[in-house]
Structure 1
Amino acid sequence: MRPRLYVDLSKIRANAQRVLEFLSKHGIELVAVTKVTLGDPNIARVLREAGVRIIGESRIQNVERLISSGVTGPFMMLRIPQLSEIDSIVGLCDYILVSELDVVRKIEELCREKKHRTKLIYMVDVGDLREGVWYENAVEEVVQAAKMCDWAELCGVGTNLGCYGGVLASEENMRMLLNIRDNVERLTKKSFPIVSGGNTSALKLVEEERLPQGVNQFRVGEAIYLGTDVTNNREISWLERDAFILEAEVIELKTKPSVPVGETGFDAFGRKPNFFDKGWRRRAILALGEQDTVPGQLKPLDEKVEVIHASSDHTIVDISDVDRSIRVGDTMKFRLTYAALLRAMTCPHVEKIYV
């Protein structure tokens, strides 16, 4: 059998409802992000059933997939656009995150030409070093962008945290974003109602009642699908954490030394593995590898199973301490991290089974 990814739609729906209700109580709009699911229409539908209004995506092909499957907008384009794809994005997305004046100019031209309205959120880098104008230069650049817009509507500012530099959402960097919005409003005499300041990592600020008032939109994926917050290194207690379970078949069982024999170099991925001498150990090889997921970030449901290492098509696990009998042809199941889920959803060799 192929590796199987079991997708529990009821748990995804429950998590989306809980996040939506939690944020709504604090005056925050939820944008539910589907990019980790490859724009999966089955998942998008349960997000709609949960009451989600805006779906966020990072690839225009995923938006096209959702629309062709009958999922309607509004859609938000999360990845700042390539100039070469702006025509498609303007036609399909209701909200676009932007960070370049040339991109804003091109969107405005297309909107005017097509007599089409779209909303823009200008991204500000408050320290994480991914997309956005650096916060010290933000007011000037966002004001310039606002002056360009007529058919396109610059409706707010946003930021992203945790995804590149691992910078945590804080009261300080949220206030920084609010101050930039206030100064832009003062200089342009226009209203910018959206402050899109949060993702999963910012939920902790809301839970602890430390989020400054005025931040009113979060873009959330990880918490809905996995009930985790990798940036803060925590599991979110009030969310389901097993909506996705990955299953793989055992294809070999052998007892071998725990340290390779012979001179060692690097593995097939250019990594230098570290081995610890535990003597001879009982090992299983699974029909699963780096092409299918991120094996090193799998979490065995049987806590006595230890993932040792993996190559493209094989994952080796230590089963010496497992209580039950394991045979060739049996399967093992795992919870996933965000990175492991992303690759599994993207891989065509992993069968998706909807529960």
Structure 2
Amino acid sequence: MDFPKLFVNLKKIRENAEKLLETLSKLNIELVAVTKLTLGDPIIAKTLKDAGVIKLGESRLKNIKRMIENNVPGPFQLLRIPMPSELEDAVLLTDEILISEEKVAYMIDEIAKKYDKNIELIYMIDVGDLREGIWYEKAAYTIEKVAKKLKMAKIVGIGTNVGCFGGVLPTKENLNILVEIKDYLDGKLNTNLKISGGSTVTLSLIENNELPSKINQFRIGEGILLGTDATGNRDIPYLSQDTIILEAEVVEVDYKPSVPVGEVGRDSMGRIPHFEDLGWRNRIILAIGEQDIDSSGLKPFDEKLKVLHASSDHTIIDYTDSNKKYSIGDTLKFHLSYGAALRAFTSPFVKKEYIKNA
């Protein structure tokens, strides 16, 4: 049972990491290589370390523990603002934690004192995307107050996240909000706070020479692992997209109408499907479904194929316009969107095969 399968090209992932390290180091920007797409896959994490990455970023403590148990060295940054119930493990397993709540900062400080461990904090600030972070207009004074009360834990930087919830793009203007807050806090606290203000989508500001000079930490996963920028809706031209390839097996080849026959309700996932009447069409069914991938994020190597829809176990492909003929047992190759790759790594039914030298 070899399929469905992800082919993970470690050489190309390493090359992507090396290119980004070179680009960022010229600007004195620290790269935090994010492993959450791969569930903290130790083989991929070691590849990133071999590329020269110092710090790894993860959103799940179980994934960090998995890497540690497989001899992947830190330091580790915890990306997802932590649950109160996991703070003790967060302090013990990580080196740098992203936070957004005053109460959580004090709880971490107490745990750090208990274990006599210095722990570094990045205080997240919301500049408009409406995901995590204290609202920017009240950030400076709140962070100043918190920083003065901490004993073992230390606020070493401020950060923001854009693109992931509201789809807000990074700009020189919204990142300069962080610069202003940093300047205020540095003056009040006699510090030199880092600004964790970059992610894959922020690379475009570097390319256009629009990145504020005081932004000095980027948290990048998608760019390294896929060579794409979902928020910016582009393939990054100087990175490889042939890093992670999905292959799925054909289990049915048939000729059927393009519109269902009968009264249409919702599909098995609760969605209302829409169909265009194109007459009878040649169709393939693949043995992979929404339990394994986000079908809307499948990008067929055969560009004449059209991904129609998927149920939990099957994905339907229209191959009428293709010059190729498909048979049962054939395999189809796909590049993946970030969402599709994330789900494929999460699915226990998708095998992973590692390519080291191609």
**TM bucket, shorter chain:** over 0.9
Q: CA deviation at 1:26?
A: 1.2
Tell me the residue number matched to 2:154. Answer: 153
Q: Which runs of 5+ in 2 are unaligned?
A: none
Tell me the residue number matched to 1:264. Answer: 264
CA RMSD of the aligned region, Å? 0.8
Post-superposition CA distance 1:146-203 (Å, at most 9, x none):
0122211111100001000000000001110010111122223x21331100100100
SS of residue in 2 equivalent to 1:154: strand
Tell me the residue number matched to 1:72. Answer: 73
**AA aligned opposite 1:5:** L
CA distance in 2 between partners of 1:162 and 1:151 (Å):
33
Post-superposition CA distance 1:109-168 (Å, at most 9, x none):
111121111110100000000000000010111112101222111111000010000000
Post-superposition CA distance 1:65-117 (Å, at most 9, x none):
00000001000000001111010010110100011111110111111121111
Tell me the residue number matched to 2:276. Answer: 276
SS of residue in 2 equivalent to 1:273: coil
**AA aligned opposite 2:201:** S
SS of residue in 2 equivalent to 1:309: strand
SS of residue in 2 equivalent to 1:256: strand
**AA aligned opposite 2:66:** R
CA distance in 2 between partners of 1:148 and 1:323 (Å):
68
CA distance in 1 between partners of 2:344 and 2:200 (Å):
20
**AA aligned opposite 1:7:** V
Tell me the residue number matched to 1:174. Answer: 175
CA distance in 2 between partners of 1:187 and 1:340 (Å):
45
Tell me the residue number matched to 1:54. Answer: 55
1:236-251 matches, cutoff 5 A = 236-251=236-251
Question: Is the Cα–Cα contact under 8 Å of residues 297 and 336 in structure 2 kept in the other structure?
Answer: yes
**AA aligned opposite 1:349:** F
1:111-190 matches, cutoff 5 A = 111-188=112-189, 190=190
CA distance in 1 between partners of 2:206 and 2:270 (Å):
41
Give the aligned length.
354
SS of residue in 1 equivalent to 2:248: strand
Tell me the residue number matched to 2:101. Answer: 100
Tell me the residue number matched to 1:194. Answer: 194
**AA aligned opposite 1:213:** S
CA distance in 1 between partners of 2:242 and 2:316 (Å):
23
SS of residue in 1 equivalent to 2:213: coil
CA distance in 2 between partners of 1:296 and 1:195 (Å):
34
**AA aligned opposite 1:269:** M
Question: Is the Cα–Cα contact under 8 Å of residues 186 and 193 in structure 2 kept in the other structure?
Answer: no
Q: Which runs of 5+ in 1 are unaligned?
A: none
**After alignment, is 192-201 or 117-126 more displaced?**
192-201
Tell me the residue number matched to 1:43. Answer: 44
CA distance in 2 between partners of 1:253 and 1:345 (Å):
27
CA distance in 2 between partners of 1:145 and 1:62 (Å):
29
Question: Is the Cα–Cα contact under 8 Å of residues 108 and 148 in structure 1 kept in the other structure?
Answer: no
**AA aligned opposite 2:185:** V
**After alignment, is 344-353 or 316-325 more displaced?**
316-325
Percent of pairs with identical residues: 53
**AA aligned opposite 1:126:** V
**AA aligned opposite 2:113:** R
CA distance in 2 between partners of 1:108 and 1:208 (Å):
40
Tell me the residue number matched to 2:305. Answer: 305
Question: Is the Cα–Cα contact under 8 Å of residues 259 and 277 in structure 1 kept in the other structure?
Answer: yes
**AA aligned opposite 1:210:** E
SS of residue in 1 equivalent to 2:121: strand
